[in-house]
Amino acid sequence: KVENMAEDKKAFVDEINKALAKSEGLTLKDLLFSYRGTPYPVTVCSVETFQALENLEARRDDMVLVSYPKCGVNWLIQILSDLVFTTIQSKPVNTELPFIECGDPDKYQRMKQIPSPRILATHLNYDCLPKSIFKNKAKILVLFRNPKDTAVSFFHFHNNAPSVPSYSSWDEFFSEFMNGKVGWGSYFDHAVTWNKHIEDENTMFIIYEDLKENLTASVKQIAEFFGFSPTAEQIQSIADRATFQAVKDKAQETYGAVGSILFRKGVVGDWKNLFTEAQNQEMDAKFKVCLEGTKLGAKLKYDVYCKA
């Protein structure tokens, strides 16, 4: 067990640096490999790790955080860590990359040593999650963000992260994003599948834009879902520490250069800077086909956040 936070953070930063080193000199076409029909980045995922993933023994008190990439999960991890620390005075241990599918195949053995409650983050779709999560009834918090801002954030991540291959243009990225040819596959496939589980027991959906809109209420909701009972005062102070700007400032101090890549802008509506009229129409049509009339579609408030 890692005794202090500095050592803990160092392990996490080492993992990130390893991933960045792997992407040195990679071209876009070498960045992704396919596993069971979904593309994943070779920098943090491998076939061996996916094959070992079923060895992950979930616990009932694990906190599972699901999100498509660039929907704000690193922000949510910070909020949950603070919630755990504030209510039970125990600092979650982050020696591994927080995403269960990322890292080396032996990580699942090492994870057995991590004391509860553990935060298990993942970008995986429902059908790819280890069965023990469902068998042991771990609680699953599913985070979504409007697809236009998600796409723009994903594009900037590629173009800002050192050594991660960049796209020659936003148009090139947009086309790959719409075709699901990006890490972890299609946003819309992810959304359609998870929407089928929106009523499942032990599962709660939360929307990035709602976190931005009313952080205090969201923190309270998350705390109740995971069975924590912070006081109103504690909820407020967690929310104050968890504003995007506060987390971004702290991340730069903690993770150095990587911090500014993980937490870039965090605004709602940034898509208006990049989307062309044709791209707007294409995504509006896709949303209509995939999510209009669904519970997740309603939660995403597409007309509020994705219409110019």
Tell me how far CA of residue 143 lies from CA of 76, 124, 202, in angstroms.
9, 12, 14
Beta bridge partners of 122: 66
Which of 123, 156, 158, 190 is the catalytic position? 123
Per-residue pLDDT of the chain (308 residues; tens, 9 = 90+): 333 445 556 666 776 677 667 767 778 888 899 999 999 999 889 999 999 999 899 999 999 999 999 998 888 988 998 999 898 876 666 667 789 999 999 999 999 999 999 999 999 999 999 999 999 999 999 999 999 999 999 998 887 776 667 898 999 999 999 999 999 999 999 999 999 999 999 999 999 999 999 999 999 999 999 999 999 999 999 998 887 676 666 665 665 555 555 555 667 888 999 999 999 999 999 999 999 999 999 999 999 999 97
> How confident is the model at residue 5, as a pLDDT?
45
**Which DSSP string corresponds to the chain?**
---SHHHHHHHHHHHHHHHHHHTTT--HHHHEEEETTEEEETTT--HHHHHHGGG----TT-EEEEE-TTSSHHHHHHHHHHHHHHHH--PPP--S-SBTTSS-TTHHHHHTTSPSSPEEEE---GGGS-HHHHHTT-EEEEEE--HHHHHHHHHHHHHHSTTSPPPS-HHHHHHHHHTT-STT--HHHHHHHHHTTTT-TTEEEEEHHHHHH-HHHHHHHHHHHTT----HHHHHHHHHHTSHHHHHHHHHHHHTHHHHHHSS---SSGGGGT--HHHHHHHHHHHHHHHTTSHHHHHTTHHHHS--
Instruction: Show Cβ contacts of residue 257 under 8 Å, excluding neighbours closer than 6 positions.
Output: 162
Locus of tokens 């993933």: 53
Among 189, 179, 168, smallest CA distance to 123 is for: 189
Instruction: Domain ranges for the chain, please list them.
Output: 5-305
Report the C-alpha gap between 59 and 254 in whole angstroms.
29
pLDDT digits (tens, 9 = 90+) for 262-276: 555 667 888 999 999
Q: In 208-235, which positions are buried (b, 16+ CB within 10 angstroms) versus exposed (e)?
A: bbbbbeebeebbbbbbebbebebeeebb
> How confident is the model at residue 243, as a pLDDT?
76
pLDDT digits (tens, 9 = 90+) for 132-169: 999 999 999 999 999 999 999 999 888 777 666 789 89
CATH of 5-305, one of 3.40.50.1970, 3.30.70.141, 3.30.1490.20, 3.40.50.300: 3.40.50.300
Q: Catalytic site residue 197?
A: no
Report the C-alpha gap between 181 and 1 in whole angstroms.
38
Beta bridge partners of 120: 64
Tell me how far CA of residue 148 lies from CA of 85, 199, 308, in angstroms.
34, 25, 11
Q: How far apart are the first and last CA of the chain?
A: 50
Tokens of 195: 């929407």
Tokens of 212: 């931005």
* Helix (H), strand (E), coil (C) string for 51-74: HHHHHCCCCCCCEEEEECCCCCHH
| Phi, then psi, of 37 in degrees rounded to 5 | 85, 0
> How confident is the model at residue 3, as a pLDDT?
37
Report the C-alpha gap between 70 and 175 in whole angstroms.
17
Q: How many CB atoms sit inside 10 A of residue 43's CB? A: 23
